Structure 1
Amino acid sequence: MGRSIMYQYQALLVVPLFAAAVFLIFNSTTRPKFEPNPLMETEIFGVKIHKNPPQSKLDQLGVTTWKTYEGQPSKFPWFFDATETMYILEGKVKVTVDGHEGSFEIGGGDLVVFPKGMKITWDIIEPVKKHYHLEKENND
């Protein structure tokens, strides 16, 4: 009789453990894991940021034909007379947008669009090199 009780206790332990194992295996193989979309564009304070866009997007925009800018660590105010799209090749910049609390960083591999009329403080943390394009106004 002692053996029979021991088997009952083992069954009480084995069945829940087996069910838990099946549940974990099923959920880990059939449920998609959340991974941020690397193609996703975000917007912070009206500034659009596209992290590591595909080369096809950069080719479509003609980024390599745009003007270039290089800057050493420094901090200065800036006003955008026109919408500016930039692709940062290297470096890191802390951006503070007038009228907003806080700041954000952009850096190598970021495609960024600043709207016309925006006032910011540009704080170059690491030497920056970028391609940039200014949107021309249509004066028809």
Structure 2
Amino acid sequence: MASAWLSTNIAATGASSITYGMSGMVVRVAPVDPINVKNVNRHNHYRCCSTAASSTSTASIYPPTKLSSSSSRGRKRCYANRRRAEAVIRAEAETPIPMATSVIEKSGIKIIKNPPESRLSDLGVRTWPKWGCPPSKFPWTYSSKETCYLLKGKVKVYPDGSEEVVEIGAGDLVEFPKGMSCTWDVSEAVDKHYSFD
């Protein structure tokens, strides 16, 4: 049985079904409230389920170009309000929710997760030189303090003389203290901005 769902406005009608076109297709209507916004539901909103009489037919139906209404002005206002409400809902859905900033300190390494763009701008991070490496494992000693911002990658840092494992990744702003010796275990290729003090 062919079926299709429509969303439309039907005002000033008490009918529980409407027949479309020559196919004899029957449309059953049931009131719904598609958008919970003030003044949008000025007329009845309906979700329509169409069913064809023949199980072998693949007919499709289209909403009428004009629906009867006791007030065309009210209908136009309803449509305009609905369009505005839908635009607001789409804009809110497309707006990314900012991640919370958190600070972690382990074995002398300071990690700022999800730093705000204002912090990165104040530091001039985007103007710092860049460095990268493929997945690998190697020792490293910091002869001076380094601050870096990871654009991509995933690393486990094993500080010498510590049993702690420090994990850093894309989006982290990291400070390594002067004199630290450690081993970098890079599981995903790294690309970062860096600055030495």
The two structures share one fold, judged by TM-score above 0.5 = yes
Q: Secondary structure in 1 aligned to 2:119?
A: helix
Could you tell me how far apart the structure 1 residues matched to 2:104 and 2:155 are? 17
Q: C-alpha separation between the residues in 1 aligned to 2:156 and 2:195?
A: 20
> Which range moves more in the overlay, 108-117 or 38-47?
38-47
Match of 2:164 in 1: 102
DSSP-derived class of the 1:43 partner: strand
- Specify which of 134, 149, 171 is matched with residue 72 of structure 1: 134
Structure 2 counterpart of 1:120, one-letter code: C
Deviation at 1:42, TM superposition (A): 1.3
Aligned partner of 1:115 in structure 2 is 177
3-state SS of paired residue (1:130)? strand
Q: What runs of 5+ residues in structure 2 fail to find an aligned partner? A: 1-98
Aligned to 1:52: 114
Offset of 1:98 from its aligned partner?
0.4
Conserved? CA contact 2:106–2:164, under 8 Å:
no
TM-score (normalised: structure 1): 0.69
1:11-50 C-alpha deviation (Å, 9 max, x unpaired): xxxxxxxxxxxxxxxxxxxxxxxxxx93231101010000
Q: Counterparts of 1:102 and 1:43 in 2: how far apart (Å)?
A: 11
Q: Whole-Å Cα distance in 2 between the matches of residues 39 and 102 of structure 1?
A: 22
> CA–CA distance in 2 between the matches of 1:75 and 1:96?
11
Question: Which structure is larger by alpha-carbon Rg, 1 or 2?
Answer: 2
The 3-state SS of whatever aligns with 2:115 is coil
Matched, 1:41 2:134: no
Query: Separation in 2 of the partners of 1:91 and 1:40?
Result: 19
1:133 corresponds to which residue?
195
Percent of aligned pairs with the same amino acid: 54
State the secondary structure of the residue aligned to 2:188: strand
Partner secondary structure for residue 112 of structure 1: strand
Unaligned residue ranges in structure 1 (runs of 5+): 1-36, 136-140
Amino acid at match of 1:50: I
Matches of 1:124 and 1:130, distance apart in 2: 13
Greater RCO, 1 or 2 (C-alpha within 8 Å, sep 6+): 1
> What is the alpha-carbon distance in structure 1 between the residues aligned to residue 131 and residue 180 of structure 2?
19
Structure 1 residue 72 displacement after superposition:
0.1
How many pairs were matched up? 99
Whole-Å Cα distance in 2 between the matches of residues 50 and 72 of structure 1?
A: 23
Distance 2:163 2:139 in 1: 16
- Residue 90 of structure 1: how far off its partner (Å): 0.4
Name the CA distance, whole Å, in 2 between partners of 1:104 and 1:82: 19
Map residues 8-19 of structure 1 onto 2, 5 A cutoff: none
In structure 2, C-alpha distance between the alignment counterparts of 1:133 and 1:86, rounded to whole Å: 6
